[in-house]
Copies of this chain bind each other. A is one copy, B any other.
Amino acid sequence: DFLNALQEIVPAFGASTDDLERCRVNGMVECGNRHEHIYKRAMLLVEQVKVSRGSPLVTCLLEGPSGSGKSAMAATIGIDSDFPYVKIVSAESMIGLSESSKCARIVKVFEDAYKSQLSIIILDDIERLLEYVAIGPRFSNIISQTLMVLLKRLPPKGKNIMVIGTTSEVGFLDSVGIRDAFSVTYHVPTLKTEDAKKVLQLLNVFSEDDIDAAAEALNDMPIKKLYVLIEMAAQGERGGGAEAIYLGKEKIKISHFYDCLQDIVRFY
C-alpha cells in the first residue's frame, strides 16, 4: 500500500518540479537583504516542519506588491526544502474550471500531501485562486471557505505539512479572514536603489557611468518590472540592438532607458 501511495505521489512531484522552475525562468539573483532575510526565516520553518512534534502544520504567507518576487521565492523554498512532496497550486492550471472543480483540485493536493511524510504546498496568487476582483468585491466564497478549513485542518499523525501562500492583495485576504489563518506573514518588498544596483551590476548592461543613475531611477520598482524595462531598453531606439547588449558589446543608452521607463510608469 505504501508503494501504491508513493506511486500516486511521485508523478505529482515530477510534474510539479517543472511548475516550480517555471516560476523562476530567469534564475534567481540576489535582491537585497530583505529578500534574503525572508528566505532564511522561511527555511527555518522548513526545518521546523521536519523535526516538529507538536505542530504538524506550519503556514506562512508571502505578501507584497505585484511582481516583487513572491512566487519565485516560494518556488525556491519548495525546491530547496528537498521534501518528497512539493506542489504548487495556481490558477494557471485551472483556467475555466468551475468553482467546485477548483475546490476539488485543491482538496486533492492536500489529500495527496497527507500521504507523504513531509510536504510543501504552495498556494500561489491566492486572490486569483479565489477569483477575486475589487469591484463589488467579488470572489468565490466556496473556495475561500475551503482554504480556511484546510489551513486549520491537521494532517494525520506522523505527517507534517508546510503551506506557503502568496498574494498581492493582502488587504483582501485580511478582510475575508484568510490572512489570519496563516501563522506567519512576510512582506516581500520592491527593490530599493541599492538592491536595484546589485541586480544591474550582475546584468552588466549599463556603462559604469550610468549605473548609479539607472539604479536611482529604479528605486521602489518590483523585480519583474525591472526585467521588462531592461529588455525594452536593450532593443535600442530603432530596434535590433539587444543582441549586442546581451553579448556585452554595447551598453544601454541612459536616455533611451529613461524613455522606456516613462512608457512603463506612465499612468501610475
Which residue numbers of A lie inside 8 Å of B, CB to CB? 22, 25-26, 41, 43-45, 47-48, 51-55, 66, 91-92, 95-96, 100, 103-104, 107, 128, 131, 133-135, 137-139, 141-142, 144-146, 148-150, 152-154, 170, 175-177, 180, 183-187, 225, 227-228, 231-232, 235, 237, 239-240, 242-243, 246, 263-264, 266-267
Contacts and interface: CB of A to CB of B under 8 A. Distances in A.
Contact of A133 (B52, B150, B176): B176
Contacts of A148: 128
> Which 9 A-B residue pairs are closest in the complex by CB-CB distance?
A47-B239, A131-B145, A55-B231, A91-B149, A133-B176, A92-B153, A48-B235, A183-B228, A184-B263
B227 A264 contact: no
Nearest to A144: B133
A241 to B, nearest CB: 9
Contacts of A149: 91-92, 95, 128
A84 B51 CA distance: 38
Copies assembled = 6
A118 B131 CA distance: 30
Nearest to A242: B51
A72 B152 CA distance: 14
Given A47-B239, A96-B100, A135-B175, 10 more contacts: A44-B235, A48-B239, A51-B242, A55-B227, A128-B145, A131-B141, A133-B145, A133-B177, A134-B176, A183-B264
15 contacts: A41-B263, A48-B239, A48-B242, A52-B242, A92-B149, A96-B104, A96-B142, A128-B149, A133-B141, A133-B145, A133-B177, A134-B175, A134-B176, A138-B141, A186-B263
Q: What does DSSP make chain A's interface, helix, strand, loop or mixed?
A: helix
B95 A150 contact: yes
Contact of A177 (B134, B154, B183): B134
A25 B54 contact: yes
Contacts of A103: 95-96
A107 B177 CA distance: 28
Contacts of A51: 235, 240, 242-243
A92 B54 CA distance: 20
A26 B44 contact: no
Of A95, A134, A148, A153, chain B has the most CB atoms within 10 Å of the CB of: A95
